Amino acid sequence: MKTTRSRRPQPAIAERKASERSAQAAGAGKRTGGKATGEEFSTRNPAYAKPAATGANSRGGKPAGEAGRNPAYGKSAVTGAKPRGRNAASGFAEAMPEQSRGGRSGRGAPSPAAPESRMPRAPRSRPNPLGGKAERPTFEAYKAVAAASAGMAPEGEVRNKTKYKTVSRARRMQLRQGSVRELQMQKELRERRVATTEIPAERLQKALAFTGYGSRRAMEDAIAAGKVSVNGKIAALGSKVSLGDEVRFDGKKVVLKWPDRLPRIVMYHKQEGELVSRDDPEGRVTVFDRLPRLKSSKWVAVGRLDYNTSGLLLFTTSGELANRMMHPSFEVEREYAVRVFGELTQEQINEMLKGIELEDGTAHFARLEKRGGEGFNHWYHVVLKEGRNREVRRMFEHFGLIVSRLIRVRFGSMTLPGRLRRGQFHELTELEILGIMRWAGLKINGRQADE
């Protein structure tokens, strides 16, 4: 059977505790660091001297009597409540002179001046002058500190009036990978280049626009202003450039890019509420914000769709291909699915196929088919061979019918895939692009086949 023996205190611990008690009794606490007693420290630093009225040490020593109690540490003389919070208990720091608020460098040493670029501090709670619970900082104080740290202007001022918008890029439609033979053919077409001897001279504004300096109209204005020179001479409208010519824009040398490979073609499922424009002063979302970025060229939209129209929208890097597909002389078909409030009569259908007069001339549908509907909503599929502004909507409004939904489902030989969701894009493969170039009668660099 084990017996319990009482533990005796070790001599080292007992001696240490005895020395601590004797040190505290002698007034040489740890706060003085063993360098000076309280009286010597107060004589060296007047901020820590005993106030004459209360006879209490302002560093937190206990005063003698209720009347001389320090309101920053004891109970308030008005409410009898004790302030809460770390900052509420440090009220002596507000009455302390600036030079006596020492930092880590040494107690009582003046702190270095804070630089102007220093981040603003968050607001802290302030002691209540009437005692009781400390006052919490207001929401306006936090808002002002956040605005100052972010470099924003105070409330009521507008430092930058530019509208910023956050637009996510469109996602690519997922497809299965082709066979090994198809992948090899696509790689060969991707790496094929046109010989330099087969690249003809090009109009200057067209070459600059293809390089990415701006639109053709903007380049024409720059040429007319005398900002462009070719081989050391100021260029004029209608000038042509060839491979090897030295072109300068505003005195800076321009490295022209030439169409020597297959272009890129993208099918995009446009959503309602997107604008077919490169820039909008109102800050609305444009389709070019959603497309994948290009490094060496730019996207050219094949036709347009209204702000409230959705469906198939084509983009390419070849201006010749876009012009051939858009120009009315080529009569490329555009098919739309239309939902209207109401129903067309047979007489109205015949009149739409024959032609009706609009503000900008006669318009007619190449085909018009009924696709069913319920109640007041009826669907129709119409085919046009031109692309005027709001032509489909205006033709139905001619008979008092309002188009509630308009979707482009086909452009030429390209049909909107069923798997292509709204806001997604699908980039055609090199084999598909080669077929479209042959259909348009163009070479791989966008020139006509008979040239």
CATH of the domain at 215: 3.10.290.10
Same domain, 335 and 435: yes
Q: What is the mean pLDDT of residues 48-61?
A: 46
Same domain, 309 and 412: yes
- Structure token pair of residue 418: 């069923």
Same domain, 225 and 318: no
Check: pTM over 0.95? Answer yes or no: no
Burial (CB count <10 Å: 0-12, 13-18, 19+), residue 297 = middle
Q: Which of 68-72, 204-208, 333-337 has the lowest mean pLDDT?
A: 68-72
Q: What is the mean pLDDT of residues 105-119?
A: 47
Same domain, 204 and 321: no
Residues 390, 314, 240, 256, CA torsion sign = positive
Q: Which of 225, 254, 283 is the last residue before a domain boundary?
A: 254
Assign 302 a pLDDT band (cuts: 50, 70, 90): very high
User: Rounded to whole angstroms, how far apart are CA atoms 141 and 102?
Assistant: 27
Assign 127 a pLDDT band (cuts: 50, 70, 90): low
pLDDT for 402: 93
Q: Which of 221, 245, 260, 306 is catalytic?
A: 306
Tell me the residue length of the chain. 451
Assign 211 a pLDDT band (cuts: 50, 70, 90): confident
User: Rounded to whole angstroms, how far apart are CA atoms 235 and 225?
Assistant: 10
Cα 205–288–305 angle (5° rounding)?
Answer: 95
| Residue 76 falls inside a structural domain | no
Q: What is the tally of structural domains in the chain?
A: 2
Helix and strand counts by DSSP (H, E) for the chain: 12, 18
User: Rounded to whole angstroms, how far apart are CA atoms 103 and 121?
Assistant: 16
Q: Which of 214, 229, 254 is the last residue before a domain boundary?
A: 254
Q: Compute the radius of gyration of the chain from its Cα atoms.
A: 41
Alpha helices in 197-286 (DSSP H): 204-211, 216-224
Structural domain harbouring 326 = 265-440
| Residue 320 falls inside a structural domain | yes
Same domain, 421 and 334: yes
Identify whether 306 is a catalytic site residue: yes
Same domain, 303 and 215: no
| Residue 64 falls inside a structural domain | no
Same domain, 234 and 291: no
| Residue 274 falls inside a structural domain | yes
Same domain, 397 and 339: yes
Alpha helices in 241-340 (DSSP H): 287-290, 319-326
Same domain, 359 and 399: yes
pLDDT for 206: 85
| Residue 24 falls inside a structural domain | no
Same domain, 234 and 297: no
Q: What is the mean pLDDT of residues 392-419?
A: 94
The count of other CB atoms within 10 Å of the CB of residue 73 is 19
Same domain, 249 and 321: no
pLDDT for 406: 96
Alpha carbon of 134 to those of 66, 183, 403: distances in Å? Answer: 22, 73, 65
Which range among 228-232, 281-285, 372-376 has the greatest average pLDDT? 228-232
Q: Which residues are registered as beta bridge partners of 228?
A: 249
Rounded to whole angstroms, the maximal C-alpha distance in the chain is 118
Query: In 3-state terms, what secondary structure has residue 66?
Result: coil
Mean of the per-residue pLDDT values for the chain?
A: 75
pLDDT for 319: 84
Mark 249-283 as b/e (b = at least 16 C-beta within 10 Å). Answer: beeeebebebbbbbbbbbbbbbbeebbbeeeeeee
pLDDT for 392: 95
Cα 13–14–19 angle (5° rounding)?
Answer: 100
Same domain, 346 and 202: no
Alpha helices in 125-168 (DSSP H): 139-149
